[in-house]
Amino acid sequence: MVVILILATLVSIGPLGAAVNKNFLPTDDQSQLEVVVRAPEGWTLDATDRFGTQMATEIRKLAGIDYTIVTTGDDPQHTPNRFTIFVKMVDLDKRTISQQAMEGKVRDLVQSRYAYLGLQTQVGQVSEFGGSGGFQPVDYVVSGPDLNVLTRVGDQGIQILRSIPGVVDPRSSLVSGAPQLGCRWTAPAPRTWASTRSMPPTPCSCSCRASRSRPPSTPRRASSIKS
Protein backbone atom coordinates (compact mmCIF):
# COMPACT_ATOMS: atom_id res chain seq x y z
CA MET A 1 0.00 0.00 0.00
CA VAL A 2 2.82 2.38 0.89
CA VAL A 3 4.58 1.64 -2.39
CA ILE A 4 1.40 2.41 -4.34
CA LEU A 5 1.02 5.76 -2.59
CA ILE A 6 4.64 6.61 -3.32
CA LEU A 7 4.21 5.75 -7.01
CA ALA A 8 0.97 7.73 -7.22
CA THR A 9 2.67 10.75 -5.64
CA LEU A 10 5.56 10.58 -8.10
CA VAL A 11 3.21 10.27 -11.09
CA SER A 12 1.10 13.22 -9.91
CA ILE A 13 4.10 15.58 -9.86
CA GLY A 14 3.88 16.17 -13.62
CA PRO A 15 0.17 17.13 -13.86
CA LEU A 16 0.30 19.17 -10.66
CA GLY A 17 3.42 21.03 -11.80
CA ALA A 18 1.77 21.90 -15.13
CA ALA A 19 -1.37 23.20 -13.39
CA VAL A 20 0.37 25.41 -10.82
CA ASN A 21 1.38 28.96 -11.76
CA LYS A 22 5.14 29.38 -11.84
CA ASN A 23 7.32 32.48 -11.61
CA PHE A 24 10.77 33.47 -10.37
CA LEU A 25 9.18 35.85 -7.88
CA PRO A 26 5.60 35.47 -6.58
CA THR A 27 3.06 37.97 -7.89
CA ASP A 28 1.42 39.20 -4.71
CA ASP A 29 -0.53 42.31 -3.76
CA GLN A 30 1.92 44.65 -1.99
CA SER A 31 -0.35 47.73 -2.22
CA GLN A 32 2.29 49.58 -4.21
CA LEU A 33 3.45 49.98 -7.79
CA GLU A 34 5.71 52.22 -9.86
CA VAL A 35 5.44 54.12 -13.11
CA VAL A 36 8.71 54.68 -15.02
CA VAL A 37 8.51 57.26 -17.81
CA ARG A 38 11.08 58.51 -20.32
CA ALA A 39 9.96 61.81 -21.81
CA PRO A 40 11.02 63.00 -25.30
CA GLU A 41 14.72 63.66 -25.76
CA GLY A 42 15.77 67.24 -25.13
CA TRP A 43 13.50 67.86 -22.14
CA THR A 44 15.19 69.65 -19.26
CA LEU A 45 15.21 68.35 -15.71
CA ASP A 46 12.82 71.09 -14.57
CA ALA A 47 10.34 70.42 -17.38
CA THR A 48 10.46 66.68 -16.72
CA ASP A 49 9.87 67.21 -12.99
CA ARG A 50 6.83 69.42 -13.65
CA PHE A 51 5.44 66.87 -16.07
CA GLY A 52 5.97 64.03 -13.58
CA THR A 53 4.19 66.02 -10.87
CA GLN A 54 1.26 66.60 -13.24
CA MET A 55 1.02 62.90 -14.08
CA ALA A 56 1.18 61.94 -10.39
CA THR A 57 -1.71 64.32 -9.68
CA GLU A 58 -3.82 62.53 -12.29
CA ILE A 59 -2.93 59.12 -10.82
CA ARG A 60 -3.93 60.19 -7.30
CA LYS A 61 -7.46 60.87 -8.56
CA LEU A 62 -8.00 57.13 -9.08
CA ALA A 63 -9.97 55.38 -6.35
CA GLY A 64 -7.76 53.29 -4.08
CA ILE A 65 -4.62 55.46 -4.31
CA ASP A 66 -3.18 56.77 -1.05
CA TYR A 67 -0.20 58.92 -2.16
CA THR A 68 2.52 59.23 -4.81
CA ILE A 69 6.22 60.16 -4.79
CA VAL A 70 7.96 61.56 -7.89
CA THR A 71 11.73 61.24 -8.41
CA THR A 72 13.35 62.71 -11.53
CA GLY A 73 16.66 61.59 -13.01
CA ASP A 74 16.91 58.74 -10.51
CA ASP A 75 18.73 56.28 -12.77
CA PRO A 76 22.53 55.74 -12.57
CA GLN A 77 23.04 58.03 -15.60
CA HIS A 78 20.89 60.80 -14.01
CA THR A 79 18.90 61.11 -17.23
CA PRO A 80 17.14 64.51 -17.13
CA ASN A 81 14.09 63.35 -19.11
CA ARG A 82 13.37 60.25 -17.01
CA PHE A 83 11.25 60.05 -13.87
CA THR A 84 9.65 57.47 -11.62
CA ILE A 85 6.32 57.73 -9.79
CA PHE A 86 6.00 55.53 -6.71
CA VAL A 87 2.31 54.84 -6.15
CA LYS A 88 1.10 53.70 -2.74
CA MET A 89 -2.35 52.16 -2.52
CA VAL A 90 -4.63 52.03 0.49
CA ASP A 91 -4.77 48.86 2.57
CA LEU A 92 -6.43 45.74 1.16
CA ASP A 93 -9.41 45.98 3.50
CA LYS A 94 -10.14 49.53 2.30
CA ARG A 95 -10.32 48.85 -1.45
CA THR A 96 -12.04 46.49 -3.86
CA ILE A 97 -9.46 46.58 -6.67
CA SER A 98 -6.30 44.49 -6.75
CA GLN A 99 -2.82 45.82 -7.35
CA GLN A 100 -2.62 44.10 -10.75
CA ALA A 101 -5.94 45.65 -11.83
CA MET A 102 -4.72 49.06 -10.64
CA GLU A 103 -1.59 48.68 -12.77
CA GLY A 104 -3.85 48.25 -15.79
CA LYS A 105 -5.91 51.33 -14.89
CA VAL A 106 -2.81 53.48 -14.42
CA ARG A 107 -1.37 52.22 -17.72
CA ASP A 108 -4.60 53.03 -19.56
CA LEU A 109 -4.66 56.49 -17.98
CA VAL A 110 -1.12 57.33 -19.01
CA GLN A 111 -1.44 55.95 -22.53
CA SER A 112 -4.81 57.56 -23.26
CA ARG A 113 -3.91 60.99 -21.88
CA TYR A 114 -0.29 61.35 -23.02
CA ALA A 115 -0.09 59.14 -26.13
CA TYR A 116 0.62 62.15 -28.36
CA LEU A 117 4.00 62.69 -26.62
CA GLY A 118 5.39 59.27 -27.61
CA LEU A 119 6.49 58.41 -24.08
CA GLN A 120 8.35 55.25 -23.10
CA THR A 121 6.41 53.98 -20.09
CA GLN A 122 6.56 51.01 -17.78
CA VAL A 123 3.92 50.27 -15.14
CA GLY A 124 4.45 47.37 -12.78
CA GLN A 125 5.39 46.15 -9.35
CA VAL A 126 8.19 47.75 -7.38
CA SER A 127 11.51 45.99 -7.94
CA GLU A 128 12.56 43.69 -5.11
CA PHE A 129 16.24 44.32 -5.83
CA GLY A 130 16.27 48.11 -5.77
CA GLY A 131 16.25 50.61 -8.58
CA SER A 132 13.30 51.51 -10.80
CA GLY A 133 12.27 49.80 -13.99
CA GLY A 134 14.81 47.02 -13.63
CA PHE A 135 12.49 44.00 -13.82
CA GLN A 136 11.46 42.76 -17.28
CA PRO A 137 9.59 39.45 -17.74
CA VAL A 138 10.80 39.15 -21.37
CA ASP A 139 14.06 40.55 -22.73
CA TYR A 140 15.32 40.31 -26.33
CA VAL A 141 18.93 41.35 -26.99
CA VAL A 142 20.08 42.52 -30.43
CA SER A 143 23.79 43.27 -30.94
CA GLY A 144 25.79 44.69 -33.80
CA PRO A 145 28.35 47.34 -34.83
CA ASP A 146 26.01 49.63 -36.84
CA LEU A 147 23.85 51.95 -34.72
CA ASN A 148 21.65 52.87 -37.70
CA VAL A 149 20.79 49.22 -38.29
CA LEU A 150 20.20 48.64 -34.57
CA THR A 151 17.89 51.67 -34.40
CA ARG A 152 15.85 50.41 -37.35
CA VAL A 153 15.66 46.85 -36.00
CA GLY A 154 14.74 48.14 -32.53
CA ASP A 155 11.88 50.24 -33.92
CA GLN A 156 10.61 47.30 -35.95
CA GLY A 157 10.79 45.04 -32.90
CA ILE A 158 8.77 47.52 -30.83
CA GLN A 159 6.05 47.62 -33.50
CA ILE A 160 5.91 43.82 -33.66
CA LEU A 161 5.64 43.50 -29.89
CA ARG A 162 2.85 46.08 -29.75
CA SER A 163 0.83 44.04 -32.24
CA ILE A 164 0.92 40.92 -30.03
CA PRO A 165 -2.15 40.60 -27.75
CA GLY A 166 -1.26 40.67 -24.07
CA VAL A 167 2.09 42.47 -24.48
CA VAL A 168 2.33 45.76 -22.58
CA ASP A 169 5.04 48.40 -22.12
CA PRO A 170 7.47 47.40 -24.91
CA ARG A 171 10.52 49.66 -24.98
CA SER A 172 14.09 49.72 -26.26
CA SER A 173 17.25 50.60 -24.35
CA LEU A 174 18.81 52.17 -27.46
CA VAL A 175 18.36 55.96 -27.36
CA SER A 176 19.65 57.68 -30.49
CA GLY A 177 19.51 61.16 -28.97
CA ALA A 178 18.11 64.49 -30.11
CA PRO A 179 19.45 66.51 -33.07
CA GLN A 180 21.67 69.40 -32.00
CA LEU A 181 23.23 72.37 -33.80
CA GLY A 182 26.47 73.68 -32.34
CA CYS A 183 28.21 76.92 -33.37
CA ARG A 184 31.76 78.01 -32.59
CA TRP A 185 32.71 81.66 -32.95
CA THR A 186 36.35 82.23 -33.90
CA ALA A 187 38.22 85.55 -34.15
CA PRO A 188 41.87 86.31 -35.00
CA ALA A 189 44.25 87.66 -32.40
CA PRO A 190 44.08 91.47 -31.91
CA ARG A 191 46.47 93.51 -34.03
CA THR A 192 48.73 96.40 -33.00
CA TRP A 193 48.65 99.52 -35.21
CA ALA A 194 51.38 102.21 -35.18
CA SER A 195 49.23 105.14 -36.32
CA THR A 196 46.47 106.81 -34.39
CA ARG A 197 43.98 106.31 -37.16
CA SER A 198 40.86 104.36 -36.38
CA MET A 199 41.43 100.64 -36.46
CA PRO A 200 39.65 98.72 -39.20
CA PRO A 201 37.08 96.14 -38.12
CA THR A 202 38.60 92.81 -37.21
CA PRO A 203 37.39 90.04 -39.52
CA CYS A 204 35.66 87.19 -37.75
CA SER A 205 34.34 83.84 -38.84
CA CYS A 206 31.71 81.41 -37.63
CA SER A 207 31.63 77.67 -38.23
CA CYS A 208 28.56 75.55 -37.53
CA ARG A 209 28.04 71.83 -37.55
CA ALA A 210 25.01 69.64 -37.10
CA SER A 211 25.26 66.50 -35.06
CA ARG A 212 23.13 64.02 -33.15
CA SER A 213 23.81 63.75 -29.46
CA ARG A 214 24.65 60.37 -28.03
CA PRO A 215 24.33 58.97 -24.53
CA PRO A 216 27.38 59.56 -22.32
CA SER A 217 28.57 56.01 -22.86
CA THR A 218 27.55 53.52 -25.56
CA PRO A 219 27.46 50.00 -24.13
CA ARG A 220 28.89 47.04 -25.97
CA ARG A 221 25.43 45.55 -26.07
CA ALA A 222 23.99 48.24 -28.28
CA SER A 223 20.30 47.44 -28.22
CA SER A 224 17.91 45.66 -25.92
CA ILE A 225 14.18 45.31 -26.56
CA LYS A 226 12.14 44.74 -23.44
CA SER A 227 8.50 44.02 -22.82
| Rounded to 5°, angle at Cα 163 from 162 and 168 | 35
Pairing of strands 223-226, 139-142: antiparallel
Q: Which residues pair with 141 in a beta bridge?
A: 224
pLDDT at site 111: 87
Work out the number of other CB atoms within 10 angstroms of the CB of residue 82: 24
Residue 215's pLDDT is 41
Q: Could you report how far apart the first and last alpha carbons of the chain are, in Å?
A: 50
The reported pLDDT for the residue numbered 78 is 86
Residue 15 to residues 9, 10, 12, 149: CA-CA distances in angstroms?
11, 10, 6, 45
Average pLDDT of the segment spanning 73-97? 89
Q: How confident is the model at residue 23 (pLDDT cuts 50, 70, 90)?
A: low
Q: CA 143 to CA 166: how far, in whole Å?
A: 26
Give the C-alpha separation, 34 to 88, whole Å: 9
Render 9-42 in DSSP notation, one character per residue: HHHHHHHHHHHS---SS-----SEEEEEEEPPTT
Q: In angstroms, rounded to a whole number, what is the distance separating the alpha carbons of residues 42 and 80?
A: 9
Distance from C-alpha of 148 to C-alpha of 220, rounded to nearest angstrom: 15
| pLDDT surpasses 70 at 226 | no
**68 — pLDDT class (breaks 50, 70, 90):** very high
The span from the CA of 30 to the CA of 125, in Å, is: 8
Looking at the predicted structure, is the pLDDT value of residue 134 above 90? Answer: no
Give me the mean pLDDT over the 120-149 stretch: 76
Alpha carbons 59 and 86: distance in angstroms, whole number: 10
Q: pLDDT tens for residues 158-192?
A: 888 888 888 887 777 777 665 556 666 666 666 55
- The pairing of beta strand 82-89 with beta strand 139-142: unpaired
